[in-house]
Amino acid sequence: MLCYVAAVYVGCRGISGLTAGLFFARILLQQLTTALYEELNYRFLILEGYFHGNKSVWSRLLYAFVSFLVFGAAHVVTGWSTSAFFLSGAIGFTFAVIYLKSGSIVIPMLLHFIYDIPTNMTSYIEWKDASLLASMNSVLEIALAIMFLVSLVILIIDKSTVETKHTAS
């Protein structure tokens, strides 16, 4: 998110073709419904089984990776792109971890909406320098990889084990 904000701030020459009505319909309303729909489908429905079954680390990993695969695949249905699959999958995995750890689907919905706003604004931005956009996309890919790894660690850490170790000391 910060990568996009930084890229827009530094590299934006102007915004073209985005009227107030288009911003309201295409950016705000469409992204709100997208966040609600995708989080209900790719997190709530897929991960709900976890809350009614075995709550082991392996179970959490399985459910989160299924969410990764389905969310990543859904974002490349119009044409395969390994990069888009893994980047979308990493975001989906992180949203899955947030849902599994918090038990609230509202948090991933809100984060998804917030993430989609600058992402979808980029098509209306006139860039000063295309190489800056390419560099920021590379930084974004690295940031998403780090986000995935941090989410994986958070998912693997068993809260009860941490609490037991904390109370024992």
Spell out, as residue ranges, where the chain has pLDDT lower than 50. Answer: 161-167
Q: Three-state DSSP class for 77?
A: coil
Which element (helix H / strand E) includes 37? helix 30-39
For the stretch 67-71, contacts whose Cβ atoms lie closer than 8 Å and that sit 24 or more positions apart, written own/partner, are 67/42, 67/43, 67/92, 67/93, 67/95, 67/96, 68/92, 68/93, 68/96, 70/42, 70/46, 71/38, 71/42, 71/95
pLDDT digits (tens, 9 = 90+) for 67-76: 999 999 999 9
pLDDT for 7 equals: 61
Give dist(CA 67, CA 14) in Å, integer. Answer: 37
pLDDT value at residue 168: 52
Closest CA to 93 of 25, 31, 146, 19: 146
pLDDT at 80: 82
Question: What per-residue confidence (pLDDT) applies to 162?
Answer: 40
Give residue 163's pLDDT: 41
